[in-house]
Structure 1
Amino acid sequence: MKNIETTVGIDKLAFFVPHYYVDMTDLAIARNVDPAKFHIGIGQDQMAVNPITQDIITFATSAADQILSPEDKKAVDMVIVATESSVDESKASAVVVHGLLGIQPFARSVEMKEACYAATAGLSLAHDFVALHPDRKVLVIATDIAKYGLKSGGEPTQGGGAVAMLISSHPAILALNADNVALTQDIYDFWRPTGQAYPSVDGKFSNSVYIDAFSQVWDEYCRRNDAHFADFSAIAFHTPYTKMGKKALLPKLETEPEAVQKHLMAQFESGIVYNRRVGNLYTGSLYLSLISLLENSEQLSAGDKIGLFSYGSGTVAEFFTATLVPGFEKHLRKTEHEALLNSRVKLSIEAYESMFEEKIDFNHNTKFADDAAYSIEEIKDNHRIYRQK
């Protein structure tokens, strides 16, 4: 029997967002809203926007392509794509991603769904697989497009993109501690029935459910592990908008020493630098926050324990931890990620609205021109044909 005590964790980590964005001041002015409501009230500065030639598959492939070596592609035995923006009710997007990336053929490829939570389930599955097969690897990708409709209440919390994580034994960035505590509640705070273009949201209720879910899983985690806030160097949150995590954390910190409060809140701010510039990634939001924390905090070092709070409406929540490994900072991609964000094209509100309203007719064969590394090249016989670099 293989050793199941192998250290397993995140070996490589990257994100991708589309090459267009909207400035939240411009959106606020166009919607006759005080810009402070967006910048301060929900904590968003920019919002990622994608053309119709970009979808969850191109996002996922573009994110993973940054981190996979030829050797990785031979060692990956499972591709897990987590999304709530599926492009097919039957065929998993992971199957297409697997092919575009050229991963060895004898690998499982599956798609997972539970609102914004599914990537965490994928990470747990990957951990257990690698623990039993320490010479193999698992690719976990969170990829989504968050859309609520033009001039809707949820419009300023839209966004899109993907985060790719390569899970292996002897990881270079983070060791997963396998101390997860999960919570499931059958609640309708956010839902999208099959065939409905945009989600239905009970906004205030959803906020309160999120805050309560964090409180419950945190308390249970502490009970099971005799844990305290002082044990953590930072906590990363699922961030549908960046103010959300703060609303959950602050009430729990009220009774903590001032030094602990200040430290964790400073780390929280480091963990939302990228999210403020992208918007909602749904399944990828927690992991974009994790990348932001690792690449923007100046207070992290090897051996530090990081908490992660994952949440998916409906609802499933989970709290788990990871430990930074020696030399982790050498394996981050801050320069590349900042270059990606800084190279994007700012859209006028008119151009954004036009791009938003564009739709693909899958019953009509069409060819597209998009010079991105991965894009939809053609619609033929009711399926998507992808261009790859």
Structure 2
Amino acid sequence: MATSSTVGIDDFSTYLPQLYLPIERLAEKRNIPYSKLKDGLGLEQMALADAREDTATMAANAVLDLMHKNDLDPCTVGRIYLGTESALDGAKPTATYVLDMLTDHFADAYGPNCFLHCDVVDLTFACIGGVDALQNCLEWAAAKDNRVGIVVTSDSAKYEMGSTGEYTQGAGAVAMLVRQSPRLLAIDADFGVATRPAHDFFKPKRKVSKREILQEVINLLPDLSAEDYQLDELEEKLTNGLTTNGILDCNEKFLTLHKDTPVFDGPYSNEAYQARIREALIDYRRRHGLQAGTLQTDYAALAFHLPYAYQARRMFSEIFMEELKATRQWESFIDQNDLNVPCADDYNDREQYLTKCSEFLRAVTKTEDYRRFVDSHLAPGDWASSRVGNLYSASVFLSLMAILEAGYHSDEELAGKDLLVFAYGSGSKAKVFGATVQEGWREVVAGFDLQLRLNNRQEIDYDTYEQLHRCSLRDNVTEHEQGTFFLADVHDRRDGTEGVRHYGYAANILA
């Protein structure tokens, strides 16, 4: 287990957008019973980035809060590593925009070069990129005394309207201070890992021909055909043109399109999640010489990546079963709960057998023993997710913050206790690592204000949500919060400045 002499997380800060949509409003519009989403998935509210917020502003706001809370000199920060799958550019790291905002903010006090020697980079592996960034910075901080690094995770989880992922959407950022002898969490040096390539969730570069685009536009016009518009001639001009000032004249027959919304297979992703975290747990135990059967006794709580709040509750039943088997409690458990374990020999059809296994594991989650396990080890880490939705790379760290703040408000003594963290990223990879709560944890957690932040947001209606989703609003729904960064403009001229982003800061008065 980790000790106070190891590296770890000294403090957390979070930035949550000021806007949220009650899941009940979305359920009404989609004709979904609200009880199915609330009681089945744990969904209550969806955090939404405003029109002038993006991955960079949320990350910068989380880092700014972290630096102010800890009175950090920018010149001493050696790294700001960003975990995200919502990058703003295909080449220029979003972390450079974060650094730009922070440099402008601190320049008067520390000079324009205050972050000149700070290393920044984006790390992307779906929802686990932030954990990769953390592991990297932990090793860097451990290599030399007095190194100070910041890991920040920032994402907007966006799905197509009407899709099965829509009600899990969310947005926000979590930043963490990484250094030796941390006040909050000492992190194990050796992470368990499991990686297996999968197409459970991804955001491909879509290849679309110019002819398809022209045809689709022409089809929208009444009583006209492609022949009326001489489609072949139009396509030939677009392909062979030498100028590149327009959208279609790129000298290629095809355009590459990127969408923020993913291609995904929900059931397959759940299977990958379940398999990878189990495999990563096995690897973690192997690396540390640990045996199965100790999750409930050795760890005060478990933190998870949560695509929806109750994901861990629904996905952990197989590991729970293996824990009971390891402690020789399995037979008595199935007898007490009158459960019939499926046997493969009883089924000629493998699919039917797998269906019965799934039904059996669901039955396990309905037992009193499992519910007690949920209350003691899983629920402390999923309450915040119910009120914000999926934060992608930031989700697992929000779960950690939720555990610590729940312990703080319940006067639980967590000092010296171990937490176990289960991270997952589609594609697919899982990592498992341990964290030991330090003696000074309570003073640090007092500054989280997670519940306070959640309670001080603005509710929006469905129509406003749809406008935000369609990106049809130019200005914020709410005023810029004092002391925060915001997106000022994005250059749209078809020249060498196309796509350049500029940011502002709402200082003493609301902008």
TM-score, length basis structure 2: 0.71
Match of 1:161 in 2: 172
- Number of corresponding residues: 381
CA offsets 1:283-306 (integer angstroms, 9 cap, x no match): 000000110011013444111111
Q: Is the 8 A contact 2:123 2:133 kept in 1?
A: yes
Secondary structure, in 3 states, of the residue corresponding to 2:125?
coil
Secondary structure, in 3 states, of the residue corresponding to 2:273?
helix
Q: Is the 8 A contact 2:204 2:258 kept in 1?
A: yes
Match of 1:278 in 2: 388
Match of 2:21 in 1: 22
How many angstroms does 1:111 deviate by? Answer: 0.6
Q: Distance in 2 between matches of 1:93 and 1:174?
A: 27
How many angstroms does 1:87 deviate by? Answer: 0.3
How many angstroms does 1:340 deviate by? Answer: 1.7
Q: Is the 8 A contact 2:13 2:63 kept in 1?
A: yes
Q: Distance in 1 between matches of 2:95 and 2:287?
A: 35
How many angstroms does 1:317 deviate by? Answer: 0.6
Match of 2:191 in 1: 180
Amino acid aligned to 2:428 = T
Question: Structure 1 300/150 Cα, relative in aligned 2: closer, same or farther at 3 Å?
Answer: farther
Q: Is the 8 A contact 1:241 1:280 kept in 2?
A: yes
Match of 1:267 in 2: 377
CA offsets 1:201-230 (integer angstroms, 9 cap, x no match): 111110111011111111232233214212
Match of 2:311 in 1: 244
Q: Distance in 2 between matches of 1:261 and 1:275?
A: 19
How many angstroms does 1:44 deviate by? Answer: 0.9
Match of 2:489 in 1: 378
Give the alignment partner of residue 452 of structure 2, picking from 339, 345, 359.
339
Asked whether 1:204 is paired with 2:315, we answer no
Moved segments of 4+, more than 6 Å: 257-261, 366-369
Equivalence map 1:1-389=2 (5 Å)? 6-69=5-68, 70-102=71-103, 104-194=115-205, 195-197=257-259, 198-225=261-288, 226-227=290-291, 228-229=294-295, 230-254=297-321, 255=324, 262-263=372-373, 265-297=375-407, 298=410, 299-333=412-446, 336-358=449-471, 371-372=480-481, 373-380=484-491, 381-382=497-498, 383-388=500-505, 389=507
How many angstroms does 1:339 deviate by? Answer: 2.3
How many angstroms does 1:359 deviate by? Answer: 5.0
Amino acid aligned to 1:378 = D
How many angstroms does 1:159 deviate by? Answer: 0.6
Question: Structure 1 367/279 Cα, relative in aligned 2: closer, same or farther at 3 Å?
Answer: closer
Q: Mark the runs of 5 or more structure 1 residues left unpaired by the alignment.
A: none
Q: Is the 8 A contact 2:194 2:283 kept in 1?
A: no
Q: Is the 8 A contact 1:367 1:379 kept in 2?
A: no
Question: Structure 1 29/115 Cα, relative in aligned 2: closer, same or farther at 3 Å?
Answer: same
CA offsets 1:332-358 (integer angstroms, 9 cap, x no match): 146632222111111111111112112
CA offsets 1:15-46 (integer angstroms, 9 cap, x no match): 11111111011111111110011102211110
Q: Is the 8 A contact 1:215 1:248 kept in 2?
A: no
Question: Structure 1 327/6 Cα, relative in aligned 2: closer, same or farther at 3 Å?
Answer: closer
Higher strand share: 1
Q: Is the 8 A contact 2:416 2:438 kept in 1?
A: yes
RMSD over aligned CA atoms reads: 2.3
Secondary structure, in 3 states, of the residue corresponding to 2:66?
coil
Q: Mark the runs of 5 or more structure 2 residues left unpaired by the alignment.
A: 104-113, 206-256, 330-367, 492-496
Q: Distance in 1 between matches of 2:5 and 2:263?
A: 43
Secondary structure, in 3 states, of the residue corresponding to 1:172?
coil
Q: Distance in 2 between matches of 1:138 and 1:334?
A: 19
How many angstroms does 1:133 deviate by? Answer: 2.1
Moved more, 291-300 or 47-56: 291-300
Q: Distance in 1 between matches of 2:276 and 2:490?
A: 42
TM-score, length basis structure 1: 0.92
Secondary structure, in 3 states, of the residue corresponding to 1:374?
strand
Q: Distance in 1 between matches of 2:280 and 2:51?
A: 39
Q: Is the 8 A contact 2:195 2:276 kept in 1?
A: no
How many angstroms does 1:99 deviate by? Answer: 2.5
Amino acid aligned to 1:23 = P
